[in-house]
Structure 1
Amino acid sequence: MGKRDQRPIVLFTGAQRLARGLRAMGLASACLMEPGEKMSSPWEVDYWIEYDPWDLAALDRWVARWPEKQRVAAVLNRRERRVMEHALLNQALQLQGIRPWQAKIFRDKLLLRELLEQKAAHLNPPFREVQLEKSGPPPLPFPFLLKPRNLFKSQLITACRTRRDWEPALERIRSSWEAAQKRHGVRLEPSLLAEEELEGSHFSLDGFVTSQGNMVFSPPVPLTTAAQWGLEDFHISVRWVDPDVKPCTARLLEGAARDLVEALELRASPLHIDLVSLGERVWILDAAPRVGGYRSEMTELAWGCSLDLMSLKVAMGESVEWEPRWEKCVAVVELFPWEEGVLQTIEGLEEIRKLGSFHRLKQRVPAGERVGWAKDGFRCPVFVILVNPDMKLLQKDVERLREFVRIRVSPS
């Protein structure tokens, strides 16, 4: 009889690159998967756990019966939709980290605003709840934004800048509601969040809260919004790793993050935050208890640091430090079509591959599927990652990239 595997297990809420490299670290891996979900190289993961994301009570019951549960040393999550799974698994396995009450707040922008209003009101813009199916007077002075409470990636956000925008904005969201739920596999809350449209510089910040409440941050990531590119949408066009972010700006952003952590009583967790800064004032737009999208790859390319490994250490109760090994500039560019329609082709990708800063690109959406703006409930059909030691050369390649790409759609 073979010897029973005694390696500690790291349980992931979905397939992740780190899960495939744990054997070399003396660890075993387990990943949740949805029914019918196709996985590449499945033999690289020790345990695949099929579950129904619409029946989390069944997941809770499964954990209680799993013979290997005592071996689980940590739970990790990188997915927007699986924050509650992360919290339920932590609780069921009696591990440190996020709990269901915190996950509920992180997944609902209105609940986050209400908590901050009680404990850290300086991080909030003016806001109100809006009933989706009811008409009434505008909830705030113009300009303001309407947002779904529990959608992500700037989707279905609509601007109300004058009185005549108000009713059309509501109708636009109503008309896209069902399609967005089906496309992204979420049940949207039946009301919206209205909040003041903020002016200022946009940043994201990733950090880690230890079990003792200490915090470690990676450098802030400046964001170029769609509006800065002259686009009537609310997605982030470019995420930058720029080594020259001013220390005073970093301190202001980190201070806001610390206030959020205390308001949520967060411990033993990663933290990703989107913020707006204007002068000495900082507002929080959104937050999640996970490593941000693209961020681990960006920091590995720019600094030689893995946020995924830091997240693992924090989940396992170890200390972490920010220890950059080198310094480069990185840009992640998300590209959208000019109009909604059925994707025909994306032109200019070969020219992009010849750029001096080119690292990789990914076409997320195949020809024949419907694409559109984030405000209509779509994610970007293609993104590009560029790397260069020289920020000015990187910026030039981003501008050239914009000139190369043409996303062709048909209206049907």
Structure 2
Amino acid sequence: MKNKAIVHIMNKKRMNAPDIKVDLDAMEELWNKYGINNIIFYKGEKVDYSHLISKLEKYGIYTQNYSNRQDLIDKVKEFNEKFEVIFVYTALELMINISNTLRQELGLKVSDNPNIFRDKSIQRKLLQENNKELGIKFLKGEPEKLDIDEIEKEIGYPFIMKPVNGVQSSGVVKITKRSDFEDYISNYKDFHDRLKARGIENKELIVEEFIDGNLYTLDYFVTDKGKVIFSKPAQEILGIDFGINDYFVVARVASKKVEDDLEGTGLKKFIEDTIKACGVRNTFVHHEFKLTSKGKLKTIELNGRFGGGRVDLFKEAYDMNLFEMLLNPKVEPGE
């Protein structure tokens, strides 16, 4: 019987960042508790980790470089001959789709629409079509083709504008009047060029109704059968909360108070209904949502990875290794 392993897709920047220590600690714990190996793949020339390799391999952690997409696929398949790869994970938003491709190559289940985490309009469309209670009003289109008259009629002020496949909160702006819209469109080319320099080709924008309320997040794992394995909710404090028209994260809060704030809101059913409507399968999900002033839960977006800083945050707050959700621990949110 082959030993089980998780494949992690990284890059050199990630491997040289402080977060790598958090990642390695989580991997070491998986080895110590479950005998799970972890294989880190990174693009480019082989990095000399000779001072670490022997130590890492004692804890079932291996590193492997690759040159291009096909080389990555081939090398992951080679490792699958030695190990039973049970999951392919990436913390990098731009690598979400290749991680899905690798799962498919290994015969692992993926979401009904594998591009759902990169094209945020797919999420909006599926929620609106499959469960109107969960959906919100939205439009999408190329910047020069968006019609402000149609937006004012179909959505109204205020509304949110953001790239279809951006990263983090880049380009997310609250529009309160026509001149805001005109300024956003006129400045979009410069923003588009900056995104493109980061490897993101974004040709369309989403325009969606503004949702009031505090922003919360929940990281969870969805099995190949659609069962949700929950961690704990957290609250995000944003620049917009301080009167700045920017959605950058100022602070992340995980506490009993956050759980209490969401108690009785139907959080568990809301998450399960969202996953069913979107056809999400066999993936970690970082779910951003708001609790509105009317007491309703509304999705902001879904991401196919842990949220930034969550592995460290939940280890500190709850002594919880988020990767363990893959192994079906009984962890439930406040309900």
Q: TM-score normalised to the size of structure 2?
A: 0.81
1:40-189 superposed matches below 5 A: 43=53, 44=56, 45-52=61-68, 56=69, 59-60=72-73, 63=76, 66=78, 68-69=80-81, 71-74=83-86, 75-96=88-109, 98-99=110-111, 101-134=112-145, 136-138=147-149, 139=151, 140-182=155-197, 184-188=198-202
Aligned 8 A contact 2:229 2:332 in 1: no
What is the CA deviation profile of residues 346-389 of structure 1, one whole-angstrom value per residue up to 9, with x for unaligned ones?
A: xxxxxxxxxxxxxxxxxxxxxxxxxxxxxxxxxxxxxxxxxxxx
Q: What are the Cα deviations for residues 114-139 of structure 1, in whole angstroms up to 9, with x where unaligned?
A: 11111122222211013123364342
Distance 2:48 2:184 in 1: 39
- Whether the 8 Å contact between 1:116 and 1:260 is mirrored in structure 2 is yes
For residue 18 of structure 2, what is the aligned residue in structure 1?
none
| In 2, Cα distance between equivalents of 1:255 and 1:107 | 24
The 3 A distance-change label for structure 1 pair 26 and 217 is closer
- Match in the other structure for 1:213: 226
Find the residue that maps to 1:122 and give its secondary structure: coil
Residues 78 and 91 of structure 1: CA distance in aligned 2, closer, same or farther (over 3 Å):
same
SS in structure 1 of the partner of residue 266 of structure 2? helix
Per the alignment, residue 242 of structure 1 pairs with 255
Candidates 252, 269, 274, aligned match of 1:255: 269
8 Å contact kept, 2:161–2:175: yes
8 Å CA contact 2:121, 2:164 repeated in 1: yes
TM-score by length of 1: 0.67
Aligned to 2:287: 273
Query: Distance in 1 between the 2:37 and 2:80 partners?
Result: 11
Q: Name the SS for the 1:217 alignment partner.
A: strand
How far apart, CA to CA, are the structure 1 residues paired with 2:249 and 2:217? 11
Letter in 2 for 1:260: T
2:8 aligned partner:
12
Partner deviation per Cα, 1:89-148 (whole Å, 9 max, x = no partner): 11111124x34x533012111111111111122222211013123364342322111100
- Paired AA for residue 137 in structure 2: P
* Alignment partners' CA distance in 2, 1:22 and 1:49: 22
Q: Which moved more, 1:160-169 or 1:131-140?
A: 131-140
Change in Cα spacing, 1:307 to 1:67, as seen in structure 2 (3 Å) is: closer
Once residues 45 and 65 of structure 2 are traced to their aligned partners in structure 1, the CA distance between those partners, rounded to angstroms, is 12
Instruction: Kindly indicate whether structure 1 or structure 2 has the higher relative contact order, using CA contacts under 8 Å at least 6 residues apart.
Output: 2
Structure 1 residue ranges without an equivalent (≥5): 314-318, 325-412
| Cα distance between partner residues in 1 of 2:46 and 2:156 | 46
1:193 maps onto 2:206 in alignment:
yes
Compared CA separation, residues 246 and 295, structure 1 to 2 (3 A)? closer
Paired residues of 1:305 and 1:323 also in contact (CA < 8 A): no
- Residue in structure 1 matched with residue 300 of structure 2 by the alignment: 285
Task: Report the residue type matching 1:276 in the other structure.
Answer: K
Q: How many residue pairs end up in the alignment? A: 306
Tell me what 1:353 maps to: none
The one-letter code of the counterpart of 1:298 is L
Give the 3-state SS of the residue equivalent to 2:148 in structure 1.
Answer: coil
Equivalent AA in structure 1 for residue 289 of structure 2: L
- Asked whether the 8 Å contact 2:160–2:174 carries over to 1, the reply is yes
* 3-state SS of 1:218 partner: strand
Alignment partners' CA distance in 2, 1:266 and 1:208? 10
Instruction: Output one character per residue of 1:42-66: Cα deviation in whole Å (capped at 9) or x when no partner.
Output: 61342403143xxx456445555x2
Deviation at 1:259, TM superposition (A): 1.1
Partner SS, residue 244 of structure 1: helix
Moved over 6 A (4+): none
Deviation at 1:261, TM superposition (A): 1.1
Q: Which stretches in structure 2 are left out of the alignment for 5+ residues? A: 16-22
| Conserved? CA contact 2:233–2:259, under 8 Å | no
SS in structure 2 at match of 1:320: coil
In structure 2, relative to structure 1, the CA distance for the partners of 1:27 and 1:322 (3 Å cut) is closer
Within 5 A, what are the aligned runs for 1:371-382?
none
Given that 2:231 and 2:332 are in contact with CA atoms closer than 8 Å, whether structure 1 keeps it comes out as no
* Alpha-carbon offset, residue 254 of structure 1: 2.6
Whole-Å separation in 2 of the counterparts to 1:82 and 1:105: 13
- Contact (CA 8 Å) 1:205, 1:221: kept in 2 or not? yes
Shift of 1:302: 0.9
Partner Cα separation in structure 2 for residue 305 and residue 269 of structure 1:
18
Judge conservation of contact 1:221–1:240 (CA < 8 Å) in 2. Answer: yes
Distance 1:168 1:276, change over 3 A: same
